[in-house]
Amino acid sequence: MTYGTFYTPTLKKSDLPSDHPTVPSDYAGRGCPVASRTDKEHEFRAPGAGDVRSVCPALNAMANHGYIPRDGRNLTFATIFSGLQACYNISTPLTILLTVGGFLLIKRLPFALPFGLETIFSPTNPDGSKIKPGVIDLHLIGRHNGTEHDASLVHEDCPPDSYYPSIEIIPEWVENLVGDVRPEVEGYPASRKEKPLSSISTSSTPSSTISKKTTSYLAPPDDLEDDTRSPSRGPSDASSVTAVDTESDTSSSSSSGWKKFTGPEYQYTLVSADDVGRMRARRQREILPKKLDGMHEEIARGEMGIILEVWEQETFVENDGTDPVSGEIVKRKKGIPLPWLLTWLAEERLPSGWKPSHVVGLLDVVRRNKAIKMAAQAEEAKQSAS
């Protein structure tokens, strides 16, 4: 840690360059209030050789954008705490819960030990390496059945004989999420929705992978590696195990896959808590007879509930309700832009130019999780009755 981290002399207005952004007259802090938040500092950079990542898109995106160390290593309570608040504008109580819980669930202390005790009580990792108390990395965060869980939306389940799941992202599974959105998204392949369950193949078909609160209102638009993949089906039990060209990263079932749905014409297609509930119900159904325990069900809902709160917007959708003025069948829908969600999950990248607009509180996420749970239960009941 450098000297400048602890002390930076107060800047005078006369010291600023002529093209420097305006600094509020009542700003009394030390150092530049602008430089530490430049777009360049937090521009997206994919992980390089030697960098580590987990299966958590929120933390991986923070590393890819420099809110925590880009190599994913040497993460302390303070590092993760400040990164979560700076990146997603999460409230202090929620950030404490997430950070402390993250450490404890992987059986690590969230603080360092004094008086040289770390040399005595250094925990041993599954690979036999030692690590100081109070320090973790993104790989360790991905340890199975800590904060990580089966029935991920875009990752395979952890193999029975492994401590860690694969961090590879399956593009076909990302695209399957589009099929859970209502109203149905224009352009989603009918073949993915109509393929019968009996036609699912679980053979080792090659599959490409991707390595590695103020509600705003939007007007209606004008515009362990293994080649054997468990099937993640579309919303009507279509299989996502399809032959692909792993070099060009394109699927034979679609020339553009999930990226087709990240264009500007889909910016007003919102993903709601009900949609996420359908995603969760589908993935839970696909891992049967396995079932998540209550804690990991809550974690699975929570990771999506938080991002729904962070990016919530509102737009009009069709086929539900009647507009009193025009008489057309429309309804307002709250949710997050489909392109943002797909890119966040598939590339672990934040939306270009996005900045937090409101604080995300603990009670906000609790309410969101409840909505996701109710939607998932309704979908499960519907599937059981059919």
Cβ count near 66 (within 10 Å): 17
Each residue's pLDDT tens digit, 269-303: 999 999 999 999 999 999 999 999 999 999 999 99
Q: For the chain, what is the mean pLDDT?
A: 78
pLDDT at 41: 86
> Is residue 367 a part of any domain in this protein?
yes
pLDDT at 274: 97
Cβ-based neighbours of 254, under 8 Å, separated by 6 or more: 175, 189, 260
Burial of 200 (0-12, 13-18, 19+ CB in 10 A): middle
- Integer Cα distance of 24 and 33 in angstroms: 9
pLDDT at 189: 81
pLDDT at 72: 96
> Is residue 225 a part of any domain in this protein?
yes
> Is residue 37 a part of any domain in this protein?
no
Question: Which residue range is the domain that position 204 belongs to?
Answer: 171-385
pLDDT at 121: 65
> Is residue 55 a part of any domain in this protein?
no
> Is residue 337 a part of any domain in this protein?
yes
> Is residue 290 a part of any domain in this protein?
yes
Task: Tell whether the torsion through CA atoms of 376, 378, 384 and 386 is positive or negative.
Answer: negative
> Is residue 338 a part of any domain in this protein?
yes
Phi (first) and psi of residue 332, to 5 degrees = -80, 140
Domain count, the chain: 1
Given a cut of 50, the residues of the chain with pLDDT beneath it are: 1-12, 14-18, 20, 29-31, 34-36, 195-208, 211, 213-255, 322
Amino acid at 191: S
What residue has token string 């007259």?
A: 25
> Is residue 50 a part of any domain in this protein?
no
According to DSSP, the residues that pair with 75 across neighbouring strands are: 136
| 8 Å CB contact between 377 and 305 | no
Q: Which of 369, 371, 312 is nearest to 337 (CA)?
A: 312
- Integer Cα distance of 363 and 365 in angstroms: 5
Q: Model pTM?
A: 0.74
